[in-house]
Amino acid sequence: MSRAAAGAEPSSAGIRDVRRDEIRGEIRAEIHDDIRDEIRFDTSGSTGAARRWFRHPRQMEREVELIGERLVGPVDLVINYAPPRHLFGALFGQWLPRMAQVRVHQAWADPFAPLSVSPAERVLVVCIPMAWELLRRSWPTLGRAGSVVALHSSAAAPSAAHELLRRAAPLLRAHEILGSTETGGIAHRPLVPEGGDGGWEAFPDVSFVRDTGACAHGAQELVIRGPRLARPEHARRPPAQWATGDLVEFTGPRAFRLVGRGSSLLKVNGRRLHLARVEERLNTRLPRTDCVALALPGDALAGEGYAVFWSGRGGGTGVADIRAALRDFPGPSKIVELADIPRTATGKPDRQALLATLHPPSAAPLPSPPSPSPPSS
């Protein structure tokens, strides 16, 4: 029954309230619809707890169109080595083939299966680092294509990529994309045979939040704004801006050089890890133990890893206690017990001395035998 029919003429204030409620309801419905359609991606947090990020189909389509038009061009076949549970694989291994209505080979599911490429086909290969080794071996088949474009994301391109580009250009061209689950694609650069550290150019809908107080040529954290930022699980909409944790040096209004990670941030087996958090945890759980966590040099198999150096000072701590304290973190590759943690004159852990303990002199290769003396003349 309407309020008018019940004899209660609504006041103008009441009408406004009803309208306001209707508007709120419409907004709620719209948000609900938006949320219902969203696509979920999981990342792991620095303490190991999974984080969920949601992207709206419009963001997915926008990213595919943007990168598709700018870097890829028309394709007939997509060969996808990136699992679609990750954004990169979903965008170019699922959404792009669907939007372009082209054939897709999900090579990530069985990377050893032979490729099938028809002569003159225009092929897009969605690459992770290991895919390049496979492409190199499959080139007799892939080389029959009319053109091959490779997109590479999320890690440094391996030497196999550069070797193949040297061999297969101009039939093969490749682009690196800098981005993350949280941000989508931020910037791109061509992947070139000679390698090197070329600059990145931002995608046109990405803008930078620059630190005006920072030195013009100094490194600063890359903070971006854009319409393709993901919505975190407990927020109603994506953040206005996102700090990537990457250190960059701006080389132009929309260009930068990547200097490195802005903190002790690692990716261990695909999980993010702040070494500072590792030390914080160890100091809290094992207050009588001196612990230092250091990143280890990169390894093709292990990816980014870290070591924990510790000195128990007779406190009864053991390796098992360290592992237990770090149970919900990605595990360290090495745990090294030392009599004392070597420190520099300023009291900081001596990184070089610590890393040197991983290769004790006894493990060093034997010296070469002396060269034969030159014949006396």
Partner 1 sequence: MPTTDLTQIHARVVAVLEKRFGDAARALAADADLSDALDGFDSLAALEYISAIEGEFGIEVDFVGDDVRHWFSTVDRTATYVRECVEDQAA
Please state whether beta strands 50-55 and 39-44 pair in parallel, antiparallel, or not at all (unpaired).
antiparallel
Q: Within 317-356, which residues bind partner 1 (CB under 8 A)?
A: 331, 333
Non-local CB neighbours of 30 within 8 Å, separated by 6+ positions: none
Minimal distance in Å, beta carbon 113 to partner 1? 10
Does residue 301 touch partner 1 according to CB under 8 A? yes
Q: Within 233-262, which residues bind partner 1 (CB under 8 A)?
A: none
Candidates 4-12, 55-63, 166-174, 302-310: pick the segment binding partner 1 (CB under 8 A). Answer: 302-310
Query: 215-219 contacts: CB < 8 A, separation 24 or more?
Result: 216/250, 217/249, 218/249, 219/247, 219/248, 219/249, 219/259
Place of tokens 């053991």: 318
Site string for partner 1, 74-93 (x = CB under 8 A): -------x-x----------
Site string for partner 1, 94-133 (x = CB under 8 A): --------------xxxxx-x-------------x-x--x
Report the C-alpha gap between 225 and 202 in whole angstroms.
11
- Nearer CB in complex with partner 1: 97/332: 332
- Nearer CB in complex with partner 1: 58/334: 334
Report the C-alpha gap between 102 and 76 in whole angstroms.
5
Minimal distance in Å, beta carbon 331 to partner 1? 5
Among 24, 137, 288, 313, binds partner 1 (CB under 8 A): 137
- How large is the C-alpha radius of gyration of the chain? 27
Among 214, 243, 302, 356, binds partner 1 (CB under 8 A): 302
Minimal distance in Å, beta carbon 248 to partner 1? 29
30 DSSP assignment: H
Does residue 366 touch partner 1 according to CB under 8 A? no
Minimal distance in Å, beta carbon 132 to partner 1? 10
Please state whether beta strands 220-225 and 242-252 pair in parallel, antiparallel, or not at all (unpaired).
antiparallel
Report the C-alpha gap between 84 and 181 in whole angstroms.
12
- Nearer CB in complex with partner 1: 14/143: 143
Report the C-alpha gap between 73 and 173 in whole angstroms.
12
Beta sheet of 306-311, edge-to-edge order:
290-295, 306-311, 334-337
Q: Are 322 and 293 a contacting pair, CB within 8 Å?
A: no
Handedness of CA 344, 347, 350, 353 (dihedral sign): positive
Does residue 298 touch partner 1 according to CB under 8 A? no
Site string for partner 1, 257-296 (x = CB under 8 A): ------------x---------------------------
Residue 336 three-state SS = strand
- Residues near partner 1 (CB under 8 A) are 81, 83, 108-112, 114, 128, 130, 133-134, 137, 269, 299-303, 305, 331, 333
